[in-house]
Amino acid sequence: VKDKPIGIFDSGLGGITVLRSLLEKFPNESFIYIGDLARLPYGNKSPDTIRKYGEQILNYLNKMGTKAVVIACNSASTVFLGEDSYNGIPLFNVIEPGANLAAKTTKNNKVAVMSTTATMKAHAYKKELLKCNPNLLVEEKATPLLVPLAEEGWLHEKITKDIIQKYLNEIELKFDTLILGCTHYPILRDDIKNCLSPDIMLIESGDALAINLDEKLKLLDLKSTDSNHRTIQILTTDLTEHFETLAHNLVKPYKINSFERITL
Ligand code: DGL
């Protein structure tokens, strides 16, 4: 079991930012990534629909024999929150680690969260943050337009900066810590940073999750020891050249072994 791949999924490109962090932190692990491109975005759909899509992907990954699954999508993590396994396979979401890290990071106890509408409406981050520290002040802001901008690869564009700035201006809280509560947003990290004063701390799902995952894999004795045969497979429900190009760029310097279109 130890040398089986880790499954990881998102609606599209966003989860590749999490995959990128994991590739660096887990040099011996193989990964199978599923991007549900045909049904993107998830973030404006209802919890029932997101749950249905998530279960289809989990069943697919289970059949492929993954030893653990990372839900590299905040909108999907929201509907699986508190569930640490699915059909016997350990499950990891990005919300709890992100909230924990933010609660430890803030100095003024004021945390803002940018996320999709689904994540915002579930108040998943607010609940987790207050569990960590009931004295925190939290403001959640839905910033759904950042998902298509990231999918399109519109980095360092004036219009991207304007949209980010408009969203940030609408946050009233004087936060010192900002959670990028959607895995697509780290793609726009530089644009977001440029709109903020330099002392604001940004929290990203991938880094926060890696610590949890490492501890849990050790505990379950599931860490791979095989450093010579790592593979990175990407499966998508729709496949375009544009996606392949952006995915290759996002995982650099690591190399994706294969892309394949699948039906769930
Ligand atoms: N990247 C996902 C998230 O973290 C989903 C974005 C979307 O499909 O709306 O929420």
CA of 230 to the centre of ligand 1 (A): 27
For residue 31, give Cα distances in angstroms to 6, 68, 83.
5, 10, 21
**Residues 6+ away with beta carbon under 8 Å from 227:** 27, 28
CA of 41 to the centre of ligand 1 (A): 6
Q: pLDDT tens, 14-65?
A: 999 999 999 999 999 999 999 999 999 999 999 999 999 999 999 999 999 9
Spatial separation of the C-alpha atoms in residues 209 and 92, rounded to whole Å: 8
Atom of ligand 1 nearest to the CA of 13: 1
Statement: the pTM of the whole predicted model exceeds 0.75 = yes
Average pLDDT over residues 101-124: 97
The residues assigned a catalytic role are: 73, 182
Atom of ligand 1 nearest to the CA of 119: 10
184 lines ligand 1 (CB under 6 A): yes
CA of 31 to the centre of ligand 1 (A): 20
The pLDDT value given to residue 226: 76
The pLDDT value given to residue 1: 82
74 lines ligand 1 (CB under 6 A): yes
Average pLDDT over residues 133-155: 95
Q: Which band of pLDDT confidence, cut at 50, 70 and 90, is reported for residue 195?
A: very high
H or E element in which residue 138 lies: strand 137-142
